[in-house]
Structure 1
Amino acid sequence: MAYHHLSVMVHRQAEKYGDKVALKYRDYEKAQWIAVSWNQFSQTVRQVSNALLALGVEVQENIGVFSQNKPECLYVDFGAYADRAVTIPLYATSSPAQAQYIINDAGIRYLFVGEQFQYDAAIRVFGMCPSLKQVIIFDRKVQKDARDQSMSIYFDEFLALGKGLPHEAEVEKRTAEVADSDIANILYTSGTTGEPKGVMLMHYNYMEAFRTHEIRIPSLTDQDVSMNFLPLTHVFERGWTYVCLQRGAQVCINLHPQDIQMTIKEIRPTVMCSVPRFWEKVYQGVQERINQETGLKRAMILDAIKVGRAHNLDYLRQGKTPPLMLHLKYKFYEKTVYAILKKTIGIENGTFFPTAGAAVSNEVCEFVHSVGINMVVGYGLTESTATVSCFPPVGFELGSVGEVMPDLEVKIGENNEILLRGKTITPGYYRKPVSTAAAFDKDGWFHTGDAGRLEGRMLYLTDRIKDLFKTSNGKYICPQALETRFIIDRYIDQVAIIADERKFVSALIVPVYGLVEAYAKEKGIAYNSMEELLQHPKIQALFRARIDTLQQQFAHYEQVKRFTLLPKPFSMERGELTNTLKLKRPIVAQNYKEIIDHMYEE
């Protein structure tokens, strides 16, 4: 198969597919999905390329895209690639401080923003970003700030600069000079100190990813319909969407993540990449249903799961033919129990569902495969252009993160650290030679910071070396950044942030007991013990207000949603602190497991 360079991919696909639908997006006012053909996609991308040149965008200049998922994000991406420019996506939920850091670090002159939230954040930091020249707004409904006289224009005004393709000759010249060694994207990820690092992904990284995914996942075709659900800022969704477009699959863009339960039923996709949390909710929903049912219905659901496990995991997974009676029972449940479940979710047309970004529990993985949902579990990093490994169609192992991708070198180093080398690996971090040198050894192996083991080409994750938390939604959390921020509050003595493989961030907080008691006396709060006092609504409200104030600078997904006030401090005696009073996180997690689990109860 020909792997078109990102600079020409949309145009080559338009030549092949013409008026076939390439993209869809939801018009919320009309409550309907709007189709964009490959020809329309190509024409808009050409206008973007011309408009960028009208603004004076240079070769390998960095362009920022601060937006939730919208078709415009893809128009800007591919329009920029044709000009040999670099796109830098920012998470739609990024705080003004985070946006400011990235704009300044990358020297961004032109920043595209999605809706009101991103526009407001951009205007707020405009004066603190010396390089920033103009903000370009995707959504016409955005209300401009009174101070905004010339700082921004709307996307339709930007597109008008490329009407009639006035700079097409220069666009074609640049496209002809495109090199695989050009930077395509810089994706910023949080470091252990909380300072983001820009991962450079080159065009050759994407080209290699196209090639190896064709080998591993040949079943993806131009007949597939993919729901674009995770943020395009994340390498997983970005890489997956590009692979879909490369194969000619239709991409349906979900604007608001919280709408997925509605939009997935409207689109009923054949494929969709997601994080484990999506499937955890499916699993929890079925478990609740089982607990509510009695008699024959309950027995039928349990038997369907048992039959599916035997059929799909004991036989098909191993490449074996299931016994006839088992197969017949499975086909019966496929038309009844499994069909109802899939239709309820909106995935009755589904063929396979790549899942990564955090660990998938064996219970969830086993259940999903038992009911006939082909969840392709994988592991990857921004630095590896997403996929390092994923489940093969046959022979995958529960508990693993799949088989290493073709032609990617993996070895286990000191402390069981997973090391990588190959054409999908980043050459380094943007303008950070020290960080780059620390991540690569003299033989060119990239150190992932994750611990694991290899059994043949099957990879297993065993621990996380780097002190970064990853929520079950695939978001990276730097606990020290939050803890350092919280500890400055006079009411807080100690704090332990909880987030790793959890659905949101929580905290265990040791208050300054004397101040809490003084507050209680001032407010006339009666209590018999410290435990009772810390549970009092007024004390809880005090800490909630202080926490919300302290974490304003953090992105929404980084903020503490729930907390528990502890009546006793962390101690060296219980093994919770080192001799230098640093938290021993595994011991804290173990000692307070019951309290932590309670914070995550639905």
Structure 2
Amino acid sequence: CDFAISAAGATVVPIYQTNSPSECEWVAGNSEAVAVICEDAAQLAKILEVRDRLPHLRALVVMDPEGDTGEAIPLDDLRERGRGIEPARLEERWSAVGPDDPFTFIYTSGTTGPPKGCVLTHGNYRSVLDMCEGIGVLESGEVIYLYLPLAHSYALLIQLLTFDLGSTLAYFGGDTRQIVPELGEVKPTYLPSVPRVFEKIYTLAEPSIKEQMGEEKFRQMVQLGVKVRDLQVHGQEVPPELRQPFDQLDDQVFKNVRAIFGGRVRQAVTGAAPIAQDILEFFYACGVPVLEGYGMTETATVATYSTVEDHRFGTVGRALPGVECRIADDGELLIRGANIFSGYHRDAEKSFGAIEDGWLHTGDLATIDPDGYVSITGRKKDIIITAGGKNITPALIENDLKQSRWISQAVMHGDRRPYPVVLITLDPDEAAALAAEAAVEEADLATLSKDPRVRDVIAAVVAKVNAGYAQVEQVKKFAILDHDLSQETGELTPTLKVKRNVVNDKYSDIFDSLYA
């Protein structure tokens, strides 16, 4: 439906399946949508609940025939109507679309407030497609496994690239427990996803490998793998003293990790949130290059990119051809290019604040090295300034904590407080293993979160992470929540980023108790 709407010269406004009725109302109302297409009866019910408050809404369409309650037009009926339209009429409308016409309004996830509708033009996305195709991000004939919310700009770009190049797209089936089996079935060559997918696979693979060979040999294994892969990527000969141990590790370890991804991944790409460098190096050593890029909805998805041949771990790559990046006096990353959005729908004030003299103010703190590689160091609004005046970037410690197989989410708190503290959630998928590790009989999260033996296990993780930071940056106290954060409870965005303001407000009593 998306591309049919665009071809007809109209504007697509995606809504996440996980959005509540009130969130659907905000997006449909702010965008002044005249029609809403719903997947099934459950999604239709959300719109029906708020329809009286959507004065511009003229039509409802439901895709699933079983969702037809008589209050919406079945998609099959709409198709039937379309067959009566003269092809010349569609050609006329399609030909009238120009590069400056709106292609889509994509509403941001709203980690710090109500979602803002980013107005992206046909020209914005055409420029990004040309940039990506120019450096070979995707190639014709690729097989792509798409585990991304389809309302996200990242998913839109991947779909456009796939269709533009004539590749094959396999969509995630909807059950996160089936991701690994689906990867085995699809055998993708290109895998775009969010960090949480790669983190979860890493936490599944890493403990058993370390158990077999020990911490030091694991570290040496990754170092050797990275060294050999670098030589191979740049067409250099691998000396025998490296080749023999590498081949042995490849047979015993690396090929098994590749098999988790289907065995054919040429490149995997992660973005939308930070990911630990250790994870990237591990997968690269195994022959599954997971590389970082950077962008945001306001840049039509992407602004910097890494390739297998041109990457530097710890960075998000270099600016795409035609994109300029520079650092403002306060450390903020500024971006300029044909991919920059035209503003926020019906919000001139925020649009003016976001774009000044053609430069997009990203809100992210960054550095650019002499070779042009960009490193994201934090989020301006997320920086914690303790009562003692120390600036702390919470994402760094949070990310290190999440490398533990036991921890699902970690949220640091401490702005204008005497010291940093962290709210931790346990990984539901590891509950049984954690119970065994701590010698606890009950394996439910509520019981585990309160058990002192589990707390000792988590305290050891916190202590290990703390050892890598200056004393003023270290976590002084932590609390374990009795459930995980989720989209359904409004604590995570659809790309699984923490809504920091929501968590700080919702669990303020817990944070306060850590300073008592």
Q: What range describes the TM-score normalised by the shorter chain of this pair?
A: 0.7 to 0.9
1: distance between equivalents of 2:99 and 2:25? 30
1:88 partner SS:
coil
Partner of 1:153: 73
Change in 2 beyond 3 A, CA 1:303/1:138: same
1:42-90 C-alpha deviation (Å, 9 max, x unpaired) = xxxxxxxxxxxxxxxxxxxxxxxxxxxxxxxxxx111112111110111
Contact 1:226–1:270 (CA<8 Å) still a contact in 2?
yes
1:401 to partner: Cα distance: 0.8
Change in 2 beyond 3 A, CA 1:560/1:502: farther
Q: Which amino acid aligns with 2:367?
A: R
1:253 to partner: Cα distance: 1.6
Partner of 1:222: 140
Number of matched residues? 429
Identity of aligned residues (%): 23
1:553 to partner: Cα distance: 11
Give the greater-gyration-radius structure (CA).
1
Q: Which amino acid aligns with 1:464?
A: R
- 1:98 and 2:17 are equivalent in the alignment: no
Contact 2:146–2:193 (CA<8 Å) still a contact in 1?
no
2: distance between equivalents of 1:222 and 1:303? 37
1:406 to partner: Cα distance: 1.0
1:357-387 C-alpha deviation (Å, 9 max, x unpaired) = 1111111111111111121211110001111
Q: Which amino acid aligns with 1:81?
A: S
Q: Which amino acid aligns with 1:204?
A: G
2: distance between equivalents of 1:132 and 1:544? 41
1:544 to partner: Cα distance: 7.9
2: distance between equivalents of 1:555 and 1:379? 17
Contact 2:291–2:311 (CA<8 Å) still a contact in 1?
no
Q: Which moved more, 1:152-161 or 1:243-252?
A: 152-161
1:167 to partner: Cα distance: 3.4
1:75-86 alignment to 2 at 5 Å?
Answer: 76-86=1-11
1:284 corresponds to which of 180, 189, 203:
203
2: distance between equivalents of 1:335 and 1:569? 51
Query: What stretches of structure 1 of length at least 5 have no aligned partner?
Result: 1-75, 480-495, 505-530, 536-542, 575-602
1: distance between equivalents of 2:491 and 2:143? 38
2:63 corresponds to which of 126, 138, 143:
138
- 1:434 and 2:345 are equivalent in the alignment: no
Partner of 1:338: 254
Q: Which moved more, 1:550-559 or 1:92-101?
A: 550-559
Change in 2 beyond 3 A, CA 1:564/1:288: farther
1:351 to partner: Cα distance: 0.9
Q: Which moved more, 1:190-199 or 1:238-247?
A: 190-199
Q: Which amino acid aligns with 1:195?
A: P
1:339 partner SS:
helix
1:311 corresponds to which of 224, 228, 245:
228
1: distance between equivalents of 2:308 and 2:426? 28
1:347-496 alignment to 2 at 5 Å?
Answer: 347-441=262-356, 443-455=357-369, 456-467=371-382
Change in 2 beyond 3 A, CA 1:353/1:166: same
- 1:273 and 2:192 are equivalent in the alignment: yes
Partner of 2:117: 198
Partner of 1:488: none
1:376-410 C-alpha deviation (Å, 9 max, x unpaired) = 21111000111111213334221111111111011
1:142 to partner: Cα distance: 2.7
1:355 to partner: Cα distance: 1.1
- 1:127 and 2:42 are equivalent in the alignment: no
Q: Which moved more, 1:463-472 or 1:448-457?
A: 463-472
Contact 1:403–1:458 (CA<8 Å) still a contact in 2?
yes
TM score, norm. by length of structure 1: 0.64
Contact 2:185–2:262 (CA<8 Å) still a contact in 1?
no
2:273 partner SS:
coil
- 1:232 and 2:150 are equivalent in the alignment: yes
Contact 1:225–1:270 (CA<8 Å) still a contact in 2?
yes
Q: Which amino acid aligns with 1:229?
A: Y
2: distance between equivalents of 1:334 and 1:193? 45
Change in 2 beyond 3 A, CA 1:502/1:96: farther
2: distance between equivalents of 1:170 and 1:351? 43
2:66 partner SS:
coil
Partner of 2:416: none
Partner of 1:322: 238
Q: Which amino acid aligns with 1:447?
A: H
TM score, norm. by length of structure 2: 0.74
Partner of 1:243: 161
Q: Which amino acid aligns with 1:217?
A: G
2:191 partner SS:
coil
Change in 2 beyond 3 A, CA 1:325/1:467: closer
1: distance between equivalents of 2:8 and 2:268? 34
1:446 to partner: Cα distance: 0.8
Change in 2 beyond 3 A, CA 1:318/1:128: same
Change in 2 beyond 3 A, CA 1:116/1:265: farther
Query: What stretches of structure 2 of length at least 5 have no aligned partner?
Result: 384-393, 403-408, 412-420, 429-450, 456-480
1: distance between equivalents of 2:251 and 2:426? 34
1:262 partner SS:
helix
Contact 1:93–1:555 (CA<8 Å) still a contact in 2?
no
2:56 partner SS:
coil
Change in 2 beyond 3 A, CA 1:462/1:300: closer
2:334 partner SS:
strand
2:295 partner SS:
strand
1:183 to partner: Cα distance: 0.8
Contact 1:192–1:467 (CA<8 Å) still a contact in 2?
no
1:18-37 alignment to 2 at 5 Å?
Answer: none
1:429-471 C-alpha deviation (Å, 9 max, x unpaired) = 1111111111111x21110000101113110111101349999
1:102-121 alignment to 2 at 5 Å?
Answer: 102-121=27-46
1: distance between equivalents of 2:422 and 2:66? 38
Q: Which amino acid aligns with 1:338?
A: F
2: distance between equivalents of 1:353 and 1:132? 40
2: distance between equivalents of 1:553 and 1:405? 33
1: distance between equivalents of 2:232 and 2:331? 32
Contact 1:95–1:554 (CA<8 Å) still a contact in 2?
no
1:295-338 C-alpha deviation (Å, 9 max, x unpaired) = 9xx9997765443122124x456775432442354345445532
Change in 2 beyond 3 A, CA 1:208/1:502: farther
Change in 2 beyond 3 A, CA 1:281/1:383: same
Change in 2 beyond 3 A, CA 1:325/1:544: closer
